[in-house]
Amino acid sequence: MRFYLIGAGFISRTHAEAIYKKLPSEEVELKVAEPFEKSLAEFIAAFPNAIGYGDAAEMLSESPREDDIVIVGTPPAVHFELAMLGLASGRHVLCEKPLVMDKQQSELLLQEAKSRSLWLGCCSNRFLGDAKIEAVRELLGQRKLGEPYKATFIHRNERGRPGIEYQPWSRWFLDRSRSGGGVLIDWGPYDIALLNQLFAPVQVDVLSAWTARPLTQVDPTDCVNDVEQHVAAMLRYHTADGKQLMVHYERCNVTHGAPYTTTEIEGTEGAVSWDSYFSGDSVTYGRDLEGSRTSETHTYSNPEGTFGFMDNPVRYFIDKVKSDSAYALVNEQAAFNFQCMMAIYACAETREPQTVRLEGAPV
């Protein structure tokens, strides 16, 4: 298989490592485009078999093969242009999260991919397939909760802002014109991907939403810093069978209040809660037993092996291109998930409810 990486920074090196983990080196032809000579040289030093280019269009000028994959690993402001370039070259495209910068760009990319019978994927699926999430899905599938009616998904961190506490050298995270947004665009792709996998909505109504930017005494003053660091929304999910579910969503990278995490689904006959992405592997199932609440907690560990969560987008996408994958986020679903985040932003800005519908879903 031939892989065309656009961008030679940290995330592209991560993708390259995942490619070589997934496929034997003799089955991989790796190319990378990067205009900054230092970054390109560092990439080639790490992956000596890779062929380097200073320009993505030049790299993609050769005739495509049906299983070629372009991976866009750049800051979000140029995702649309580069993903479109990859699709126009006749190749499947896997794009880092967030997919693009606005709803219209996602619609145009989806249209281009479908018109060429190509896959457009997004890397927001890093946590899909996690053992504890699979256990939650099994409880839902077995209807152990009865009829789910509310989900709570809250992650509040004391300090964890990209560009300040995390990767302080990457100040572009703080500039909305380059990043697309703050904590919602940074963590929201993972959160929405997980929620939408659990409940498979065909329509999401954003009933209310707000954003805020709490200030600290270490906020930088030598760069643009205009992204939100705290967001919350009340969502109404509509499923294909006509059922509805309320979702309370909140995410923050800095708070002067108490930090805490609550990930829970409540149903008419039971409830399930689970550890957040990095805090553990426990799942707790609660139900009624002879008039009193009882609960049981189990631990679900991912099998030890080669792949970590950072490798998942590439390995799932390779599987999708070669045959199929239950965890790849592509085309309509990738665009829908992104548009759910854009609807939260729109609701917060306009104070008006927003609705997003999955393209192709039955009315």
Q: What is the pLDDT of residues 335-345, one digit of tens each?
A: 999 999 999 99
Helix (H) or strand (E) holding 248: strand 244-252
pLDDT at 266: 98
**Model confidence at 239, in pLDDT bands (50, 70, 90)?**
very high
What's the angle, vertex CA 100, arms to CA 111 and CA 246, rounded to 5? Answer: 90
**Model confidence at 304, in pLDDT bands (50, 70, 90)?**
confident
Q: Which domains does the chain have, with CATH numbers?
A: 2-122 (3.40.50.720), 132-308+329-357 (3.30.360.10)
Burial tier of 287 (Cβ tally within 10 Å: 0-12, 13-18, 19+): middle
**Greatest extent of the chain over all pairs of C-alpha atoms, in Å:** 70
Beta bridge partners of residue 121, listed in sequence order: 94, 330
71's CB contacts (< 8 A; 6+ apart) are 3, 4, 5, 6, 12, 15, 93, 94, 95, 96, 314
Per-residue pLDDT of 175-223, as tens digits, reads 999 999 999 999 999 999 999 999 999 999 999 999 999 999 999 999 9
Query: Is residue 126's pLDDT more than 80?
Result: yes
Per-residue pLDDT of 266-279, as tens digits, reads 999 999 999 999 88
Whether this model's pTM surpasses 0.85: yes
